[in-house]
Chain A
Amino acid sequence: MADDIVFELLHSEIINYVLENSKTSNGSKEVDLSLVEYIGFAAGYKIMERLTREWPRFKDELDTMKFICTDFWTCIYKKQIDNLRTNHQGVYVLQDNAFRFLTNFSNSQQYLEFAPRYVAYTCGLIRGGLANLCINSVVTAEVQSMPSCKFHIHVQRT
Chain B
Amino acid sequence: MAVCVAVIGKDNSPLYIGGVGNDTNTDNELSRQWLVHTALDALEERLATTNTNTANSASNASRTDLRDLYLGLLYSTDTHKIYGYVTNTRIKLVLVTSSTSPSGSNIRDAEVRTALRRLHALYADAICNPFHLPGEQITSSKFDRQVKNLLLNNV
Contact = CB atoms under 8 A, between A and B. Distances in A.
Interface of A: 45-46, 48-50, 52-53, 55-60, 132-134
A136 to B, nearest CB: 12
Interface of B: 10, 50, 54, 64, 66-69, 86-91, 120-121, 123-124, 127-128, 134
A46 B64 CA distance: 26
Nearest to B47: A57
A45 B134 contact: yes
Given A45-B134, A50-B128, A56 B68 contact: yes
B135 to A, nearest CB: 10
A20 B124 CA distance: 34
Among A50, A60, A132, the most chain B Cβ lie within 10 Å of the Cβ of A132
A58 B127 contact: no
Contacts of A49: 87, 89, 91, 123-124, 127-128
A57 B64 CA distance: 9
Contact of A133 (B50, B66, B89, B120): B89
Contact of A56 (B67, B90, B121, B124): B67
- Going nearest first, the 9 A-B pairs with the smallest beta carbon separation are A52-B88, A56-B67, A57-B67, A49-B124, A132-B89, A49-B127, A50-B124, A46-B128, A59-B54
Contacts of B89: 48-49, 52, 132-134
B113 to A, nearest CB: 14
A59 B69 CA distance: 12
Given A49-B87, A60-B54, 14 more contacts: A46-B127, A48-B89, A49-B123, A49-B124, A52-B87, A52-B88, A52-B89, A53-B87, A53-B120, A56-B67, A57-B67, A57-B69, A132-B89, A132-B134
Nearest to B88: A52
Nearest to B63: A59
Contacts of B50: 57
B16 to A, nearest CB: 14
A133 B87 CA distance: 9
Contacts of B91: 49
